[in-house]
Amino acid sequence: MSHLYRSAVHARIAKLPDLPQTEGDEEDEAADSLGSLPPSMGPPLLQKFLNRQGRGRRSGQPNPIFAPISAAGFFDQALQISVPESGLEFRVYYTPSKSDNGTVIVCHHGAGWSGLTYAAFAKEVARVGKGECGVLSFDCRAHGKTTTLELRTEPEDLSIDILTHDLVNLIVTVFPDVEKSPTLLLVGHSLGGSAIVRACPLLQAKKYKITGVTVIDVVEEFTLEALPMMHSLLDSRPDGFQSQEDAVEWHIRTHVIRNVDSARISVPSIIMKNVGTSEPPYIWRTPLRITAPYWDSWFTGLSGMFLAARTARLLVLAGTERLDKELMIGQMQGKFQLTVIPNVGHMVQEDDPTYLAEVLIEFWQRNERVVVGVKKVGEL
């Protein structure tokens, strides 16, 4: 729930199988006619950018400075993977590790977002990690370009158990041979954090090697206390946008995302053309109000499950967010690594993908390539 969640909180205090590339509806991933991004994807000087942008722009015209950027240069593959166990065809973005014994960072996005929220981060992981770590990101159920295998009339079940098993089923499909599977580093933002900590023991029971879990910017106690304010905050969101550029600009100007380049990649994937009426031309792919019945279940028990994970644990927070009591005790006991990234909002992976990539690579190196006699993060 991205910016809405943070606003509410502050108000209160291996290789893929040989699968074909998808064809047809692929403008977003296939052609990169707008050019490549700068070598570093760190946060730009946002206010200076906004002050100078739009000069000479004709009134009512989409602002080209916010034009979409193709994801083609950020992942090696964009695939549709059929997973009958979940009844879904997942949209998956994947860059494999270049090392035979490498690790794949499996990324789960938050509510309302898509796998492309990790696009800039994936590019930085490849650069910082020199290709030794791959990245797999996907659109979860009822999000992005993930679709059902059969036509359904009833609303999607977005309960946390369903989302967790979707993740497990996808991993089993992508890496069916456990012996040949790369080690996995599970990363989840907001809702995605809840899914990955629950998926961890299920994957370990199937003998997958999990080198660590990373939860990005969600703390159980404060999230649950903020949920009653979510509906009023949703009232402030527009129903749609006049263009993709307008959608990107809204996310930047309202500080939902603070990195213009990343927003130009991710935001077009969370809106779609409005085929029912001419106004507004673009609407949300996943209206957050439809997820309201699941909000409590998503986050209840998150802190305890995170601390109970039988692997290295990393909690990444934005700014100076507080820990709840359970996490505070766990931190004092050395049960997890805590990293606070400055000058970012809730969309940490978009606002400063370079910093986050450096943190994750260091975490991976410490726990995957542990020296004899040196304890992993969380080991007592």
Catalytically active residues are: 190, 217, 346
Structural contact between residues 274 and 280, judged by C-beta atoms closer than 8 angstroms? yes
CA distance 4 to 236: 10
Residue 198: both structure tokens together? 């629950």
CA distance 263 to 266: 5
The secondary structure element, H or E, covering residue 243 is: none
CA distance 286 to 234: 13
Structural contact between residues 282 and 247, judged by C-beta atoms closer than 8 angstroms? yes
Examine residue 176 and say whether the peptide bond preceding it is cis (omega within 30 degrees of 0): no
SS3 234: helix
Task: Name residue, tokens 């990955």.
Answer: 196
Q: Name the nearest CA neighbour of 378 among 221, 212, 220.
A: 212
- Say which DSSP state 285 is in: S
Residue 375: both structure tokens together? 């304890």
CA distance 210 to 159: 24
Cβ-Cβ contacts under 8 Å for 363 (sequence gap 6 or more):
185, 212, 214, 312, 314, 337, 377
